[in-house]
A = this chain, B = another copy of it.
Amino acid sequence: MERNEALEIVKPHLTKHRYEHTLGVMETAIRLAERFGADKKKTELAAIFHDYAKFRDKEEMRLLVQNVLSDRLILEYGTELLHAPCGAYYVEHEVGINDSEILDAIRFHTTGRPGMTLLDKIIFLADYIEPGRTFPGVEHVRELAENDLDAAVVQAIENTIAFLMKRRQLIFPETVATFNSLVKDKKREK
């Protein structure tokens, strides 16, 4: 699927602000794919569709997770996590993309997962550092992303968990498992 066709499909599902975010994620992700050697076409599609379900009805997504998907644990952790696994489902069944690497990168773009693939990491990170983002600490993550993908991802996860804890929000266990998985990978390298 060509870029423009994909953008035309996704555009009506997003607000103007979120569409601009999506373009930022797409451009950032493609630069990361060039830098770290990922498939550029898959990266482009995963980035364009990563927030496809961002504005879907929460109750519809809750039922989808409960009755169809295997990510039922997320139901205990608020509604913000629903759009990632549901997005992967809708992109497969409504848009007809069935590449499992693309679908997984969409599915895990908010929470991460232990053993993230290169494409998972690129979409997760691009979502965090695209030019529209102003999180505290984002500039440091952008600098890390210049040379070290894993260091950037682990820093983004640290920032996210710290942010959630400060706000007394629930921490999704798989995100902590992702942090631990990256720390173990790093130790193994040494």
CB closest residue in chain B, given A168: B183
Q: A173-B173, A173-B177 are in contact. Are A158 and B165 (CB under 8 A)?
A: yes
Contacts of A165 in B (CB 8 A): 158, 161-162, 179
Contact partner of A168 (CB less than 8 A), chosen from B154, B166, B176, B177, is B154
Q: How many copies does the complex hold?
A: 2
Contacts of A166 in B (CB 8 A): 158
Q: Indicate if the CB atoms of B158 and A170 lie closer than 8 Å.
A: no
Report the minimal beta-carbon distance from A142 to chain B, rounded to whole angstroms.
Answer: 19
Main SS at interface, chain A: helix
A177 CA / B175 CA spacing, docked (Å): 12
Contact partner of A173 (CB less than 8 A), chosen from B168, B176, B186, is B176
The residues in A between 143 and 184 inclusive whose CB is less than 8 angstroms from any CB of B are 154, 158, 161-162, 165-166, 168-171, 173, 176-177, 179-180, 183-184
CB closest residue in chain B, given A182: B168
Contacts of A161 in B (CB 8 A): 161, 165
Q: Indicate if the CB atoms of B183 and A179 lie closer than 8 Å.
A: no
A170 CA / B170 CA spacing, docked (Å): 19
A70 CA / B129 CA spacing, docked (Å): 42
Report the minimal beta-carbon distance from A172 to chain B, rounded to whole angstroms.
Answer: 9
Q: Indicate if the CB atoms of A183 and B169 lie closer than 8 Å.
A: yes
Q: Indicate if the CB atoms of A170 and B180 lie closer than 8 Å.
A: yes
CB closest residue in chain B, given A161: B165
Report the minimal beta-carbon distance from A178 to chain B, rounded to whole angstroms.
Answer: 11
* Sampled A-B contacts (21; CB under 8 Å): A154-B168, A158-B165, A158-B166, A161-B161, A161-B165, A162-B162, A162-B165, A165-B179, A168-B183, A168-B186, A169-B183, A170-B180, A170-B183, A170-B184, A171-B176, A171-B179, A171-B180, A173-B173, A173-B176, A173-B177, A176-B176
